[in-house]
Amino acid sequence: MSWFKRKDKKFKDPEKKSVPDGLWDKCPSCTEILYRPEMEKNLSVCHHCDHHFRVAPQVYVDLLLDNGSEIQLFQNLESKDFLIFKAVKKYADQIVAAKTKTGEKDAIKVYNGKINGETVVLAIMNFRFIGGSMGSVVGEAVSRAIQKADELKVPFLLVCAS
């Protein structure tokens, strides 16, 4: 038996306001709730404890390369399970899931671009694609990027994510 009974059955809970997804993040380090646009202004670093959140590959392109100078290279490379890798989850299924989740073909993108007017070859790995794992495409793309930088006699930069 309850001690209290609601006398007014007509009472309704106030309608919950909807908040758009992705507007707020919780810092895993200090547990502060952070307003995402404010955090992005701070380059995805928590302003309470300096925890660094993962940064999307496009952010690195925007941050490192001169505006409009980037040309993506080796876009035709695509992951395949050449070894028919055996694991708890089929690698082929993981590739399909990662492509769906990220909208990317693999865990790396390579660019020819400029930093302060100087030509560079820049490769950026994407953690959201199977943890940035180095499959056949990542290895091939890194190899081709190094060869391209050597051919052009320019620096090669690799932003790793794992």
Alpha-carbon 113 to chain mean position: 20
For the ranges 59-63, 68-72, 94-98, the lowest mean pLDDT is seen at: 94-98
Q: What are the tens digits of pLDDT across the range 23-41?
A: 999 999 999 999 999 999 9
Range of the domain at 27: 20-53
CATH code of the domain in which 87 resides: 3.90.226.10
Among 8, 35, 53, where does a domain finish? Answer: 53
The predicted structure's pLDDT at residue 12: 63
- The residue among 37, 49, 130, 36 whose CA lies nearest residue 92 is 130
Q: Please report the pLDDT score of residue 9 as a whole number.
A: 65
The answer on 69 and 47 residing in a single domain is no
92 and 145 in a single domain? The answer is yes
Pair 107, 126: CB distance under 8 Å: yes
Please check whether residues 31 and 103 belong to one and the same domain. Answer: no
Co-location of 106 and 125 in the same domain? yes
Output b/e per residue, 79-93; b: 16+ Cβ within 10 A: beeeeeeeeeeebee
User: Do 150 and 92 meet the contact criterion of CB atoms below 8 Å apart?
Assistant: no
